[in-house]
Amino acid sequence: MRGFKLALIVSVMLACFVYGIGIGVGYYKWFPLEELRSLKKSASGVGGNATFSTIVSRSDVLEFIDGKEQIECPNNTERLGVLVTFGQSNSANSASYRVRSDEVNDVINFHSGNCYRASSPLLGATNTGGEWMSLTAQSLVDAGLYDTVVVMSLGIGGSPVAAWTEGSELNLRLIDNLNAISERYTVTDMLWHQGESDLKWGVSTSQYVASFSDMVSTVRAANVTAQIFVSIASFCNGGDYPNNITNAQLEIINQISGVELGVNTDELLPSTMRHDNCHFNEQGQRLAANEAAKLIVNYHATNE
């Protein structure tokens, strides 16, 4: 009987721990196996505080091509936009609405050296749901900035900013992909949407800024000079606003050369525009995409 009680106590404690991890990464799940695999606690991170470093194997990234129409890659011209999107789940395939290829006729998904007609989910990012990056790209065309946009989607669900710093698996993957696309095209714009995990883990403003700065230095070392549009993003299942993460994102925009203000989804998208109180629904996807495209278009109109 004593052994049974002990086993019961241990089981309850384990269940609570696993559920807590699910909350921490922004998902209410009893068995968040993908998130458990992707999180590795490290003794210290950039900025000097304890943080989480994400280890993501290539099997976690959407690689399948079934149902994806491979096409000839377009020529590199002045009217071609090349948009690289990265960050965590809200920059990946975690939205509720799957964008059809006929909605984004002028958008191409670049992946592993090949080109595909863009549609949700985008190849190269985690999860298999919808996204708003292809909608952003189409909005750039509709606004007259480009004739066609090539999108490389690299978002990794649950990833904290420290997991993108120099030497990490995600950073190596980022630089490998930037090198690959740069062999054919010039990256014109980058869109970073991330911060939800860092707010949950209590990452400080200074630590976030230091980690992001470190990541940017690796991008520039790869000879990618495109502006990085940073979303103001931290909301997932609640939380105060503004906060240490949104303050860090504003500090980054003000202090780091080549970084511009992206869409403020914390202010723009209330919980009613998030299908699970965290990830965007169709209304949120379209609104975020339109706003992000306006900011990118306005930047180019002002600086070119």
Name the residue ranges covered by the structural domains of the chain.
Answer: 40-303
- pLDDT tens sequence across 140-157: 999 999 999 999 999 999
User: What local confidence, expressed as pLDDT, does residue 60 receive?
Assistant: 61
Distances 126 to 33, 60, 63, 155 between C-alpha atoms, Å = 14, 6, 9, 6
User: What local confidence, expressed as pLDDT, does residue 209 receive?
Assistant: 98
Distances 131 to 89, 226, 282, 301 between C-alpha atoms, Å = 9, 22, 9, 26
Confidence of residue 304 (pLDDT cuts 50, 70, 90): confident
Q: What is the DSSP letter of 161?
A: G
- DSSP 3-state assignment of 100? coil
Q: Looking at domain 40-303, does it have CATH number 3.40.50.1110?
A: yes
- Find the mean pLDDT for residues 82-88: 98
Helices 205-221, 244-255: axis angle to 10 degrees equals 40
User: What local confidence, expressed as pLDDT, does residue 247 receive?
Assistant: 98
Distances 159 to 48, 86, 216 between C-alpha atoms, Å = 18, 10, 16
Cα 176 from Cα 170, distance rounded (Å): 10
Q: What is the pTM of this model?
A: 0.83
Is pLDDT of 97 > 50?
yes
User: What local confidence, expressed as pLDDT, does residue 50 receive?
Assistant: 30
- pLDDT tens sequence across 109-143: 999 999 999 999 999 999 999 999 999 999 999 99
Distances 96 to 25, 218, 274 between C-alpha atoms, Å = 18, 33, 8
- pLDDT tens sequence across 1-58: 545 444 444 444 444 443 343 433 333 333 333 333 333 333 233 433 333 334 444 4
Beta bridge mates, 71:
115
- pLDDT tens sequence across 208-266: 999 999 999 999 999 999 999 999 999 999 889 999 999 999 999 999 999 999 999 99
Question: Do residues 234 and 247 lie in contact, with contact meaning Cβ atoms separated by under 8 Å?
Answer: no
- Find the mean pLDDT for residues 163-179: 97
Kindly state the tokens that stand for 39: 């999180």
Question: Do residues 114 and 69 lie in contact, with contact meaning Cβ atoms separated by under 8 Å?
Answer: no
Cα 27 from Cα 127, distance rounded (Å): 13
Position 203, amino acid? V
User: What local confidence, expressed as pLDDT, does residue 17 receive?
Assistant: 41
User: What local confidence, expressed as pLDDT, does residue 61 receive?
Assistant: 76
User: What local confidence, expressed as pLDDT, does residue 36 receive?
Assistant: 33
Question: Do residues 83 and 198 lie in contact, with contact meaning Cβ atoms separated by under 8 Å?
Answer: no
Cα 276 from Cα 280, distance rounded (Å): 8
Beta bridge mates, 229:
191, 260
Residues 6+ apart with CB under 8 A from 164: 86, 170, 171, 174, 211, 212, 215
Is pLDDT of 284 > 80?
yes
Kindly state the tokens that stand for 42: 């490290």
Kindly state the tokens that stand for 199: 């707010």
To the nearest 5 percent, what fractions of the chain are helix, strand and coil? 45, 20, 40
User: What local confidence, expressed as pLDDT, does residue 11 receive?
Assistant: 46
